[in-house]
């Protein structure tokens, strides 16, 4: 089984971090987003991957080559023309079946049993309250997919695509994406994979769905931190041993080469390789490699590689019935 992983997105909502690093290499619970995805794919039986890369493609390739022996190809998507276009770049004429998975989504599902089964083309789905931001899935009484609509204004279903597609008929998928190109069939100016899948249905391809228990979009700071909390809660890559000079409040991930001095770390903190936390408290935050936090309390924060936050202690002589208040909410 080959997996196609589109990772060419620029990650604009995660700037400034994505000015210098691809989104898929941002750290969550001690590993890059892409690392969590690749590890699960390998466990599920995937034997090779094709990554569709964009800006800073060399960093993605260097990371994969360094940490994985899984056969991997890298194809550059020069301009953002949509997920359908990205998948077409990853398809090879010899592919009979492929797994397509988005590169900014960490998921929980029994993918191994889905891949090893004899099921036809099937799509990972989840029920959500507001499906208008997603590709919506309509099914019949037998559970077969009858229609797929990308981000409809008036959805007829609360079942949505979560970015995992097991395609049993890769040649037909390639033909349907080519049809989108030929007819210039775009949605919101891009060639959508959802539209190509709908063409497959119209040409007789039988599609079903499989449930994805949880899926975490790492596309914004708040969702990346929520994913960090969830993975640490599941004891994913957690650190539990005590550290001299630090009070650790689990769950946390602390790299063995991180330095903690008179520090309080956790809960829900990820501390990268070579990071320093000194005379400080770090909660619900991710510190990159070589980051430094001193004399500060940070919460709900992302601190990039080799960045520093250094505060200062104050001395007060405060009389009765007085108050000192500080914080960003008091700034114009």
pLDDT tens by residue, 244-275: 889 998 899 999 899 999 999 989 999 999 99
**Which token pair is 233?**
């809660």
What pLDDT is recorded for position 331? 43
Mean local confidence (pLDDT), 1-20: 85
Alpha helices in the chain (DSSP H): 33-43, 57-67, 83-90, 111-116, 170-183, 193-202, 221-233
* Claim to verify: residue 186 and residue 217 sit in the same structural domain: yes
Residue 273 in domain = yes
Query: pLDDT tier at 236 (50, 70, 90 boundaries)?
Result: low
Query: pLDDT tier at 121 (50, 70, 90 boundaries)?
Result: confident
**CA 110 – CA 44 distance, rounded (Å):** 8
Residue 229 in domain = no
* Claim to verify: residue 203 and residue 284 sit in the same structural domain: no
* Claim to verify: residue 57 and residue 140 sit in the same structural domain: yes
Mean local confidence (pLDDT), 48-77: 91
- Sign of the alpha-carbon torsion through 64, 211, 114, 97: negative
* Claim to verify: residue 249 and residue 109 sit in the same structural domain: no
Q: Select from 124, 168, 170, 169 the least CA-distant residue to 148.
A: 124
* Claim to verify: residue 263 and residue 299 sit in the same structural domain: yes
What pLDDT is recorded for position 332? 41
Say whether pLDDT at 98 is over 50. Answer: yes
CATH code of the domain containing 292: 2.160.10.10
Residue 114 in domain = yes
Last residue of a domain, one of 221, 255, 277: 221
* Claim to verify: residue 18 and residue 86 sit in the same structural domain: yes
* Claim to verify: residue 33 and residue 141 sit in the same structural domain: yes
What pLDDT is recorded for position 6? 92
How many structural domains comprise the chain? 2
pTM for the predicted model, two decimal places: 0.83
* Claim to verify: residue 159 and residue 243 sit in the same structural domain: no
* Claim to verify: residue 8 and residue 120 sit in the same structural domain: yes
Domain encompassing residue 123: 2-221
CATH code of the domain containing 164: 3.90.550.10
What pLDDT is recorded for position 220? 82
* Claim to verify: residue 87 and residue 212 sit in the same structural domain: yes
Say whether pLDDT at 326 is over 70. Answer: no
Q: Which residue has the tokens 């899948």?
A: 197
**CA 174 – CA 88 distance, rounded (Å):** 6
Q: Which residue has the higher pLDDT, 81 or 215?
A: 81
Residue 325 in domain = no
* Claim to verify: residue 148 and residue 278 sit in the same structural domain: no
What pLDDT is recorded for position 65? 92
Each residue's pLDDT tens digit, 195-235: 899 899 889 888 888 888 877 877 788 888 988 998 888 87
What pLDDT is recorded for position 327? 59
Residue 104 in domain = yes
């Amino acid at each position: 089984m080959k997996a196609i992983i589109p990772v060419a997105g620029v990650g604009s909502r995660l700037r400034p971090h994505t000015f210098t690093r691809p989104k898929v290499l941002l750290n969550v619970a001690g590993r890059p987003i892409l690392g969590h995805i690749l590890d699960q794919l390998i466990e599920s039986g995937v034997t090779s991957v094709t990554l569709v890369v964009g800006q800073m493609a060399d960093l993605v390739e260097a990371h994969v080559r360094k940490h994985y022996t899984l056969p991997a190809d890298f194809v550059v998507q020069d301009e953002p023309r949509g997920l359908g276009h990205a998948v077409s770049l990853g398809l090879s004429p010899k592919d009979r079946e492929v797994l397509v998975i988005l590169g900014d989504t960490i998921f929980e599902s029994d993918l191994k049993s889905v891949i090893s089964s004899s099921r036809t083309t099937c799509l990972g789905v989840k029920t959500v309250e507001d499906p208008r931001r997603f590709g919506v899935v309509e099914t019949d009484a037998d559970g077969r997919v009858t229609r797929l609509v990308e981000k409809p204004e008036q959805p007829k279903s609360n079942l949505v695509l979560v970015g995992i597609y097991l395609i049993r008929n890769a040649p037909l998928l390639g033909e349907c994406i080519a049809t989108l190109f030929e007819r210039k069939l775009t949605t919101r100016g891009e060639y959508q994979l959802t539209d190509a899948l709908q063409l497959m249905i119209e040409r007789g391809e039988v599609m079903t769905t499989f449930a994805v228990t949880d899926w975490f979009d790492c596309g914004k700071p708040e969702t990346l931190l929520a994913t960090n909390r969830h993975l640490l809660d599941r004891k994913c890559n957690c650190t539990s041993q005590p550290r001299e000079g630090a009070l650790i409040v689990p769950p946390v991930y602390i790299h063995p080469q991180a330095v903690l001095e008179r520090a309080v770390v956790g809960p829900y903190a990820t501390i990268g390789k070579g990071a320093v936390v000194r005379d400080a408290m770090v909660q619900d935050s991710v510190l990159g490699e070589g980051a430094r936090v001193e004399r500060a309390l940070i919460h709900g924060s992302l601190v990039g590689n080799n960045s520093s936050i250094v505060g200062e202690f104050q001395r007060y002589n405060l009389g009765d019935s007085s108050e000192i208040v500080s914080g960003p909410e008091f700034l114009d």
